[in-house]
Amino acid sequence: MLCDPAGTYAASTATRPDTSYLLRKLHSFTGILPVGAFLAEHFWSNSAALVSAEKYNTVSQELQTIPFRLIVEWGAILLPMLFHGGYGVYIWLRGKSNVSAYPWVGNWLYLTQRYTGLIAFAYIGWHLYTERSLTHGRSTYA
């Protein structure tokens, strides 16, 4: 604690918790567990279309019967995905590219990861919009 001239104490910045560290750890976690688990399930359920249209329809109908489906979709999929994508865009906007000064593989990977993440975030937003709100001219939540 620091004492100002008036004799009151103010918290120093050194004693503040590092929220950037915590947010980056949460960003990593949401990319691995909720988003990764959802992508694995999404690939699995959509691969049923390779078997037959009937199999795909059966898997799709089974997914509609999940108890508390909207709570699961929002709490375990959509909100973690929005945080992961939104914080990823925030990191991307604050990041500095040094590929021209140091053209090493790691710097190129850093750069391409940021751009492919932005492309994926835009695609997922478009995919959710078209599949949820434009399916047969109505919302699939109804």
Q: Which domain holds residue 65?
A: 19-82
Instruction: Please indicate, yes or no, if residue 1 is contained in any of the structural domains.
Output: no
Q: What band does 12 get if pLDDT is binned at 50, 70 and 90?
A: low
Assess whether 78 and 23 both reside in one domain.
yes
What pLDDT, on a 0 to 100 scale, did the predictor assign at position 141? 46
Chain-centroid distance, C-alpha 68: 22
pLDDT tens figures, 109-139: 988 988 999 999 999 989 888 887 776 555 4
Beta bridge partners of 122: none
Beta bridge partners of 2: 10
pLDDT tens figures, 21-71: 999 999 999 999 988 899 999 999 999 999 999 999 999 889 889 899 889
Q: How many domains does one find in the chain?
A: 2
Q: Which residue has the higher pLDDT, 101 or 11?
A: 101
**Cα atoms in the Cβ-side hemisphere of radius 13 Å centred on 115:** 8
Identify the residue whose tokens are 């898997």.
59
Assess whether 76 and 103 both reside in one domain.
no
Amino acid at 117: G
Assess whether 116 and 139 both reside in one domain.
yes
19-32 vs 34-47: helix axis angle to the nearest 10?
20
What pLDDT, on a 0 to 100 scale, did the predictor assign at position 139? 45
Assess whether 69 and 24 both reside in one domain.
yes
